[in-house]
Amino acid sequence: MRSLKYLFIAFFIIFSTLPTHEAEAAEEYTSMKVKLENFLGNQTSVTLTATGDYQTSDKEVFIKAGEELTVKVESGKLVVYKNSQKKGIFASIMVTPVKQDSLLSINNRPYPGSLEFTVDGSFIRPINHVYIEDYLKGVVPREMPALWHIEAVKAQAIAARTYALRYQSKVINDTVSYQVYGGADGHSHSNLAVEQTTGMVIKHEGKLIEALFSSSNGGMTELNSNVWTSGEPLAYLSIKEDSYDPKLKWMIALDKKQIDLTNLDVSKPEDWWTSVQEEDKTIIPNLKNWLQNNGYVKKDIKITEIPVLTLTDKTSGGRVTKGSIQMNFYVKDLTDDKGKLVMQNVTLTNVEASKIRAMVGLGNMKSYLVDNTTSTDPAKIKIDGFGYGHGVGLSQYGAKHRAEAGQTYQGILEFYYPNTSIVREYSNAAAGSETDPVVNKDITAPRITSVKAKEDYLNSKVNFTYAIDEDATVSLTIKDKNSKVIATPISRKSMKKGSQVAAWNTKAVSNGNYTAEITATDRDGNKGTVTQAFKVNKDITAPNITSIDTSGNYSTEKASITYTISEAAKVTVQVKNNKGKVIATPTDTKSLKKGSQSATWNFKNVSNGTYTVTITAKDASNNQRTVSKKISIKKTTGKVTASVLNIREKTNTSSKIVGKLKKNQTVTILAQQGDWYKIKNGSQIGYVSKKYVTK
């Protein structure tokens, strides 16, 4: 099993320039030429074994099934040995399988197709002439984990095929400079994705697109011309948010001071050089390697300080384009005439961000989508970012999550390469045989979008809404948590392009998790499918009514009724007397939202006594709850003893008279202020002398 680290590094392709070759539909899509460098390395001797016979161009047998040969470079030539016996000397040699399904292994790694062996400097350099579909079977599982959702792997296969066909006329290699190719060491799951998309490519205005992809775009796709400034913006590569990309987070944290020189004698480096190391063990080795490749070849270096490491000048897609770095360091043998180490300095200001990324390491600065380059600690450098790779075109992690959410490969590719179409350039053909061109046949399945499921508790059903982008035959099935089909609300119904609705009756099912699967098949047999997870949660719980409080204001003769409801509901608030008769309705069946609510009761015309406030709340499922609370009304009254009593505006005898009372008249006493009562007489409120009113 490959290590996770290996797979992750292989996820994205580093492009230094954009290709210009256009593969035309009339070409025969038979083979690719791939120089084997990545897994083979630079070898002066290789071992060959085969599962079938291979012959040279003049039909001579080169190697038989089960046989083992050794090929060596000797005096600039290829020398072939069987055991220790020399079998031939060649400047180069092409070998082809007698049977197309044979495999030739080079140092135990099998390859399909024909192999051309050449001398590259002092090394053996095989070139694999391989049928393009077999090539893709060796590429796809190295660019994306083979066991990811099949729709994501199909999207990767089509993007990889489109990318490869732009290079069909060139000899490419098997490294990340193009696409990582591992020969016949593929995987059945990714092989299936390749086979099910045979010949499918992505085109814009009839031409193969630049099918760029990276591991993770960090939640925002990028424009090609923002990454490769020499290229023109392409209509099918744009900047937009990608909600399905998981925003892989990365961080660079680095101490500015790497070596404390306080107690080190730079006149005697031999006393401490080997025992003192830099604080950082991740980025510093990369910076040292860069220094050794840029003027300090094979030098022993100690980086003492990184005073500056910044990334700036963001594109419209939020990615940095420039950066600056400063490194202070000692080189062991660079001293003055007294043997004292001389501090060295390299400062790069406002250089391309790609240069800074190469210096610190692609695995440390995983992308150019930088969120923050500041640190609250002035002694430290902190850079936060998202994503892995350039962010242009397909996001592999985004494709994974889209597929898991029910999107097809067509929908995935349409999001990452808008304004394009998927066409089949050729049909399935055996390796090495004539292909059957099928130029520009539309194989795009109907797109099913805007899928929503909303439960109608009151009517015991779930309503579905969705849209299809072409006329199609549609089926809607409902599956339970065990993926068993329990209902088919729509069965092969012809529907027109546009918005659609459907409903499923939930009376006979229990609460739980369900999945709706919508399938649309067009007249050419292309089928698109989406799934929508939803819950059935029949509401049988009435709203809770809590925090009930009632308080009266005798000045206004109004009572405030406050309460809280646990869900949206239709609410009625009533006041009843001691005989149960409704005497007031402060809230008359009003739709209210969840949360705190209030009502007001005017008790001006009621007598003292105990009353009952009832609050009734009914939710959308007709679940109803009623609660009650007692409220006492006790108005204080007094009788006038004076023949005529003036009602004053304020509590003094010089205040304005606002009314008059007669002897034995009863008034409501609202409050006492010193020698005065605040009273209410009908609608009139004012102050009277306390000595002329008895309670």
Pairing of strands 582-592, 461-468: unpaired
In a shared domain, residues 573 and 686: no
Instruction: Supply the pLDDT for residue 29.
Output: 55
Q: Which residue has the higher pLDDT, 27 or 471?
A: 471
In a shared domain, residues 74 and 163: yes
Helices (H) and strands (E) in the chain, counts: 9, 46
In a shared domain, residues 563 and 644: no
Which token pair is 286?
């990369």
In a domain, 241, yes or no: no
What φ, ψ does residue 403 adopt, rounded to 5°? -65, -45
C-alpha distances (whole Å) from 297 to each of 301, 360, 672 are: 10, 18, 99
Last residue of a domain, one of 633, 661, 684: 633
Structural domain harbouring 307: 249-386
In a shared domain, residues 526 and 658: no
Q: Which residues contact 352 (CB under 8 A, 6 or more apart)?
A: 321, 322, 323
In a shared domain, residues 338 and 477: no
241 strand-pairing partners: 220
What φ, ψ does residue 686 adopt, rounded to 5°? -175, -160
Q: Tell me the pTM.
A: 0.58
Instruction: Supply the pLDDT for residue 26.
Output: 33
In a shared domain, residues 522 and 670: no
Instruction: Supply the pLDDT for residue 30.
Output: 72
**What CATH number should be reported for the domain holding residue 466?**
2.60.40.2360
Last residue of a domain, one of 341, 369, 386: 386
514 strand-pairing partners: 534
Residue type (1 letter), 569: A
Domains in the chain, number: 5
Q: Which residue is associated with the tokens 């015991």?
A: 460
In a shared domain, residues 322 and 278: yes
In a shared domain, residues 569 and 677: no
Q: Calculate mean pLDDT across residues 153-175.
A: 95
Q: Which residue has the higher pLDDT, 373 or 663?
A: 663
Question: Contact 394/212 with Cβ under 8 angstroms?
Answer: yes
Three-class DSSP labels, 193-261: HHHHCCCEEEEECCEECCCCEECECCCECECHHHHCCCCCCCCCCCCCECCCCCCCEEEEEEECECCCC
Q: Which residues contact 556 (CB under 8 A, 6 or more apart)?
A: none
Instruction: Supply the pLDDT for residue 570.
Output: 94
Instruction: Supply the pLDDT for residue 5.
Output: 38
In a domain, 223, yes or no: no
Q: Calculate mean pLDDT across residues 132-152.
A: 96
In a domain, 294, yes or no: yes
Which token pair is 154?
């199909």
**Rounded CA gap, 141 and 153, in Å?**
8
**Rounded CA gap, 296 and 290, in Å?**
9
**What CATH number should be reported for the domain holding residue 662?**
2.30.30.40
In a domain, 604, yes or no: yes
In a domain, 440, yes or no: no
Question: Contact 356/186 with Cβ under 8 angstroms?
Answer: no
Question: What is the per-residue DSSP string for 97-160?
Answer: ESSTT--EEETTEEE-SEEEEEEETTEEEEEEEEEHHHHHHHHHHHHS-TTS-HHHHHHHHHHH
In a shared domain, residues 330 and 364: yes
pLDDT band at 278 (very low <50, low <70, confident <90, very high): very high
**Rounded CA gap, 495 and 471, in Å?**
6
In a shared domain, residues 119 and 187: yes
Q: Which residues of 344-382 are buried (b: 16+ CB within 10 A; e: fewer)?
A: bebeeeeeebbebbebbbbebbbbbbbeebeeeeeeebe
In a domain, 407, yes or no: no
Report whether pLDDT(443) > 70: no
Instruction: Supply the pLDDT for residue 13.
Output: 36
Last residue of a domain, one of 513, 536, 559: 536
Residue type (1 letter), 522: D
Which token pair is 268?
């005697």
Pairing of strands 380-386, 636-640: unpaired
**Rounded CA gap, 63 and 191, in Å?**
28
**Rounded CA gap, 94 and 241, in Å?**
49
In a domain, 150, yes or no: yes
In a shared domain, residues 56 and 101: yes
What percent of the chain stands above pLDDT 90?
A: 68
Q: Which residue has the higher pLDDT, 611 or 636?
A: 611
Report whether pLDDT(675) > 80: yes
**Rounded CA gap, 290 and 268, in Å?**
26
What is the tens place of the pLDDT at every residue in 631-654? 888 778 899 999 999 999 999 999
Question: Contact 61/88 with Cβ under 8 angstroms?
Answer: no
**Rounded CA gap, 214 and 194, in Å?**
19
In a domain, 211, yes or no: no
Question: Contact 303/284 with Cβ under 8 angstroms?
Answer: yes
In a shared domain, residues 348 and 494: no
